Amino acid sequence: MPYRNQLYDIERHIKLYQGTLTTLILSLTQLTMSSDQESFHSATGEKSLTSLNNYAIVSDSQESSGDEPSKIITFNEGTELSDSTEDDNDDGDTNDDHSVSEEQELVHPGTKRPKLDRNTKSRMSDPPNQKGFIQVQESDLSGFYGKELSMNMDKLNSMQSLIHKSPLPKQDSEIQKQFNAKKDALFKEVIDSRTVKQNLVDAIIHENITNKFQDWHFIRRNCSDSIELGLLTPLMASIGCEMESSDPVFTITDADVERYDSYCRMFPVGYMLDHICTSLRRIATHGLATTASKTKAAKFFVCFILDRKVYESIDMNPLKCTSIYRDVVVKYLLENDPTGNMINILDELFINLDKNLYFMINRLTTLIPELKNPLMAHYFKNDINNVIAKFNTLMDDGMYESLLYFIMLIYGSYLLPFEKSDKDDEKDGLENNPTHKYFKECVYDMSTNTTSDVEISLMKVLLNLYSKVNT
């Protein structure tokens, strides 16, 4: 009896929703007839209503109440549900005993998914899915495949394999040899190679344009625990200066100006300056002080302030350096003829300099500006024609780096002042100076014909800047 009551209820529900089910089956039949793999006919759909071979329990989309009984839709065996019908119903479990429990729960899309139609063309024209299912679409990308790219990759791979299998011995290129030579020179100067990081080494050996890592490094040894005051020899040893006190004629060469930094341990520059001033006074006032010892002390001072680490220090500036030069060097070390004695000391110190001469003189006159005019008078004999002749020689020899520092040295001196001459009523004296015009024309012509030298571009910028200076 209970089974008959259940069957009776099932038949009653089928008749009640027969019209809805018939419309659903007809829609399903029309959609699946467009597929190349499956086709349904309306007669087959009507026949499936009475066969009751398979049952699928779905929720009625027209009903909002959860108390309504489940509805059963029947399909033929082997029939796949197209994804275009996902908006209307979901498939359920098949009951082979032709009986469905009244307490069976509804099947939700999150737990049971219908089989997808693999026909891409028919699916591309389907309306958007409203229940969140992902539509899978096949694409033909064969037209984007580059045969030439594949062939080129094969050629590169074959060439690489031939290089690795080559029986010829591996030899360093010329560039690699230069890198190795620079690396050897660098580590030859460095006191402790463990303090130099690999990225710094790479930056140094790959810098081939300006050689900015090569300079005059007077302090090349690790400093002592404290600075010893008094005599010059212990003073230099405690600071770490590379200058033999027993050498009566100490000079600087071009090779000395092109050395790498030793990355040694050193005292703060301001701390060293204070102790150097005290030591120089003691050396000059010592009872056994001689002219040679005073000259040696003056050389030491010049070499110290020209050191790149000292020159670029925040504790060093022209005002402080000039003050030490006047109050200590001139007053205690250079007696009778301070300017003449200093020029003689510089001549002796720079006698072996060639291409780096104007580089060192320009650095010295930057720290002690009052030495510029005496040096200009000494080197060019107060004649502007000698300046022009030297300019032409440096340009003809292609010594553009020396020419750059030469221009920086002569401008601002009494031979090429920035201010206008008293005899000239023009507003801009330098702009109308024939020597300045000649220099500009030569540099502009050189910049047109030469583009690989960075010094030419810097000279062009400097000359334009000097033209605008109005004091």
Residue 184 predicted with pLDDT over 90: no
Phi, psi of 185 (to 5 degrees): -65, -35
Please compute the mean of the pLDDT values over residues 374-391 and round it to a whole number: 93
Gap between the Cα atoms of 317 and 305, Å rounded: 10
Residue 390 predicted with pLDDT over 70: yes
Please compute the mean of the pLDDT values over residues 182-197 and round it to a whole number: 79
Gap between the Cα atoms of 264 and 267, Å rounded: 10
Residue 406 predicted with pLDDT over 90: yes
Q: Residue 245, class by beta-carbon neighbours within 10 Å (0-12 exposed, 13-18 middle, 19+ buried)? A: middle
What percent of the chain clears pLDDT 70, i.e. is strictly above it? 63
Residue 411 predicted with pLDDT over 90: yes
- Closest Cα partner for 56 from 112, 103, 18? 112
Please compute the mean of the pLDDT values over residues 383-405 and round it to a whole number: 93
Q: Residue 338, class by beta-carbon neighbours within 10 Å (0-12 exposed, 13-18 middle, 19+ buried)? A: middle
**Has this prediction a pTM greater than 0.95?**
no
Kindly list the distances between the CA atom of residue 471 and the CA atoms of 27, 108, 258, 295, 468, in Å, as whole numbers in the listed order: 96, 90, 37, 37, 10
Please compute the mean of the pLDDT values over residues 300-304 and round it to a whole number: 93
Q: Summarize pLDDT for 95-104 with one digit per residue, the tens.
A: 444 444 444 4
Residue 361 predicted with pLDDT over 50: yes
- Tokens 């027993």, residue? 246
Least confident of 338-352, 353-367, 408-422, 455-469: 408-422
Gap between the Cα atoms of 123 and 112, Å rounded: 20
More confident residue, 38 or 460: 460
- Tokens 């591309």, residue? 124
- Closest Cα partner for 402 from 275, 231, 290, 257? 257
Residues 6 or more apart whose CB falls under 8 angstroms from that of 56 comprise 72, 73, 74, 75, 89, 90, 91, 92, 93, 94, 107
- Closest Cα partner for 464 from 448, 445, 449, 443? 443
Asked whether the beta carbons of 329 and 301 are under 8 A apart, the reply is: yes
DSSP 15-30: HHTHHHHHHHHHHHHH
Please compute the mean of the pLDDT values over residues 433-462 and round it to a whole number: 85
DSSP 399-410: -HHHHHHHHHHH
Q: Where are the domains of the chain?
A: 2-128, 176-208, 214-371, 381-471
DSSP SS3 for 57 = strand
Asked whether the beta carbons of 443 and 460 are under 8 A apart, the reply is: yes
* Residue type, position 172, single letter: D
In 212-335 the beta strands, taken as DSSP E runs, fall at: 214-215, 259-260
- Closest Cα partner for 122 from 222, 188, 30? 30
Residue 222 predicted with pLDDT over 70: yes
More confident residue, 190 or 210: 190
pLDDT score of 410: 94
More confident residue, 284 or 365: 365
- Tokens 């090349």, residue? 220
Residue 81 predicted with pLDDT over 50: no
Exposure class string for 86-111: b at 16+ Cβ within 10 A, else e: beebbbbeebeeeebeeeeeebeeee
pLDDT score of 316: 92
More confident residue, 391 or 166: 391
How is residue 357 written in tokens?
Answer: 């001469």
In 123-276 the beta strands, taken as DSSP E runs, fall at: 214-215, 259-260
Least confident of 6-15, 155-164, 282-291, 381-390: 6-15
- Closest Cα partner for 102 from 227, 232, 206, 9? 9
pLDDT score of 459: 92
Asked whether the beta carbons of 92 and 56 are under 8 A apart, the reply is: yes
Phi, psi of 469 (to 5 degrees): -75, 130
Gap between the Cα atoms of 407 and 463, Å rounded: 9
Angle at 241 between CA 239 and CA 247, to 5 degrees: 130
